[in-house]
Structure formats: C-alpha cells, structure tokens
C-alpha cells in the first residue's frame, strides 16, 4: 500500500519521497534517526523517542529546524494520515544537501522525514520458541570514536555484526565492547536473569539507551524484581538462567541459545515470559 511520507512539513506519496544524492545523510551517513511504534494508533513513548532524537542531533551538532513538540505532532500526524493502527514509524533528520567535501557547515536545509508503516521484525515462532544468537567478532563502536548513544544514520558497525549473525544462521548477534564486556545486539538491548534478579549492561558499556530497555526496567522494578545495570561478560551470558532482548520493533523476545550453548533450560524462561506479557499489557494499555 502506498504511504504518505512526511518531508519537511509536507506529505508526499512514498514513490515521490526522495532526497538529493548530495545530501550528507547519503554521502556520509551524516544524520540521525529514531524507530518508534504505535499501538492502536497511539505512538508509544513518543516524548522519550523524540528526546533521544534531539540528543542525537545535539551530539552531532545538527540543528533540527522544528521544535520537539512540533516533531511529536508531525509523528502523530504521519500515523493518522496513513491510518496506521499497530505500526512502526521511522523519523530521520539528515544534514541536508552539501558539497562533495565533508564540511557540514556547507550543508543547507536538514531534511526531516517521517515514514509511518507497519513492521514484523521477527516471525511469531521466534517469540514463542526463542532466538538463537551468536557473538559477533566485530565489536561495538568505541564510545570515543562514535558513541553508540548516538542513533546515527551510520549503522555499519551493527550491519557488519548482523552479517556475521546471518551467516551463522541467526537473525541477531551479540556485540561486545572494546573492553570485552557484553554491550548489546545489533538492534536490540540485552537482559539476563540469574537467581531471580535481572541484569542489563549499563550505558557506559557503550550501548544505545534503549527506550524499551528503560520501560522493561521500570516494569520489573514495579513487579518487585531487583534490577542491576552492571558490566556483564560472555561468561555471565553462558551461565544465566534466562536471556532476552528488547527493542522498539522486537519488543521483548526470548533468547534460548548463544554461541550454540543453551541458556538455562534452553526454553524461554518464566521471568522473560512474565516481562513480555507485562510489556504487551503496558504498551497496549
Ligand atoms: N540497540 C540498538 C543498536 C538499536 O538500534 C536499538 C533500536 N532498534 C536498540 C538497542 C533498542 O532501542 P529501543 O528500545 O529504543 O528501540
């Protein structure tokens, strides 16, 4: 179905929604984005996503030409215009058209793009039986080189790890950081369960501050589960009772094997299933 795509305040049919080949978003991956979700036509954690978008922009010295409130309204409007009920929204801001040199100061007019569509990231069967993932040899970007907290248009680090995962027959791959600690997966944050407690790497492990991650942490705390944001190693993953991933598109998805080793019972665990249910109820409330 043809979608109406928002570009700089106007809606255009998807086949006419284009950016220039001189846009530094294309030439250098110079731009930022967000992936959001709508449930029953309402955008989930809209303000949090928009705040992260503006933080990413700030981090790359990109001035978004509209305010955060205007961005929220535009995202809502894109969902309404396309009559999206349960959907996925991509908000993108590029540096805009520039010259063939790097200089961002020579770029004019950042392009603000919002695509409202639907998504099915993983097949239903994977939510029921759990994912098998492998550890990628490619490490997560060093935070001092390109902070993983910036959701930039350059996702090559993640894509290289994803390629390794796919070649091993897995749809996701675990990424370690430069210290050898567990960071996150290519498009999802990671959680472990051990002895009834929930563990997830801290932000200084060099990860994206996942919106879903924070919602799950809050839901777990409310349910009386102790949550620890601490440095984790591959050893912690291998000896965990349960493992799951979180992400806007993925929501909460169990992991049952890592590097061909069964995690816990080798089946989605009880705390994972409980938090998955709590997340669904919260998101659709
Ligand atoms: N890590 C990475 C690298 C991501 O790209 C994403 C988003 N797909 C996540 C984690 C999950 O973040 P969120 O819950 O905000 O979607």
| Chain position carrying tokens 């928009």 | 50
Question: What number of CA atoms fall less than 13 Å from residue 143's CA on the CB side?
Answer: 12
Instruction: Tell me the CA–centroid distance for residue 32 and ligand 1, in Å.
Output: 13
Same fold, 4-117 and 124-283: no
Active site residue 151: yes
Q: What is the pLDDT of residues 209-242, one digit of tens each?
A: 999 999 999 999 999 999 999 999 999 999 999 9
Confidence (pTM): 0.97
First to last CA, the chain: 28
Nearest CA to ligand 1 atom 8: 187
Give per-residue burial for 222-242: e unless 16+ CB within 10 Å, then b: eeebebeeeebebebbeebbb
Give the model's pLDDT for residue 120: 83
Give the model's pLDDT for residue 2: 87
Give the model's pLDDT for residue 17: 96
Structure tokens that stand for 36 in this block: 């959001």
- Topology of the domain covering 124-283: D-amino Acid Aminotransferase; Chain A, domain 2 (3.20.10)
Among 42, 47, 151, 229, which one carries the catalytic annotation? 151
Give the model's pLDDT for residue 119: 85
- Topology of the domain covering 4-117: D-amino Acid Aminotransferase; Chain A, domain 1 (3.30.470)
Residue 171's closest CA among 130, 207, 213? 130
Parse the chain into domains and list their residue ranges: 4-117, 124-283
Q: What is the pLDDT of residues 55-103, one digit of tens each?
A: 999 999 999 999 999 999 999 999 999 999 999 999 999 999 999 999 9
Instruction: Kindly give the residue spans of alpha helices, DSSP state H, lying in the chain.
Output: 24-28, 46-59, 68-81, 124-129, 156-167, 211-222, 234-238, 270-283
pLDDT < 70 positions in the chain: 1
Find out whether 215 and 281 touch, Cβ atoms under 8 Å. no
Q: Which residues line ligand 1 at a C-beta cut-off of 6 Å?
A: 35, 158, 184, 187-189, 208, 210-213, 246-248
Question: What number of CA atoms fall less than 13 Å from residue 245's CA on the CB side?
Answer: 30
């Amino acid at each position: 179905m043809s979608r109406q795509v928002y570009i700089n305040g106007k809606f255009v049919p998807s086949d006419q929604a284009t950016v220039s080949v001189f846009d530094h978003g294309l030439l250098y991956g110079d731009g930022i984005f967000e992936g959001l979700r709508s449930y029953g036509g309402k955008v989930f954690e809209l303000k949090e996503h928009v705040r992260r978008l503006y933080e990413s922009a700030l981090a790359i010295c990109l001035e978004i030409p509209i305010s955060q409130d205007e961005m929220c309204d535009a995202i809502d409007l894109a969902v309404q215009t396309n009559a999206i009920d349960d959907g996925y929204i991509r908000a993108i801001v590029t540096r805009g058209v520039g010259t063939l040199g790097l200089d961002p100061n020579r770029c004019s007019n950042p392009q603000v793009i919002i695509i409202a569509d639907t998504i099915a990231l993983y097949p239903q069967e994977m939510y029921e039986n759990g994912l098998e993932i492998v550890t990628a040899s490619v490490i997560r970007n060093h935070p001092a080189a390109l902070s993983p907290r910036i959701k930039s248009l350059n996702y090559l680090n993640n894509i290289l790890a994803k390629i390794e995962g796919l070649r091993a027959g897995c749809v996701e791959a675990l990424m370690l950081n430069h210290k050898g600690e567990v960071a996150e997966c290519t498009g999802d944050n990671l959680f472990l369960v051990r002895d009834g407690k929930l563990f997830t790497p801290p932000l200084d492990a060099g990860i994206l501050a996942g919106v879903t991650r924070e919602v799950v942490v809050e839901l777990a705390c409310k349910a009386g589960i102790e949550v620890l944001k601490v440095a984790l190693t591959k050893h912690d993953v291998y000896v965990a009772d349960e493992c799951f991933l979180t992400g806007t598109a993925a929501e909460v998805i169990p992991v049952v094997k890592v590097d061909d080793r069964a995690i816990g019972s080798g089946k989605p665990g009880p705390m994972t299933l409980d938090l998955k249910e709590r997340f669904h109820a919260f998101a659709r409330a």
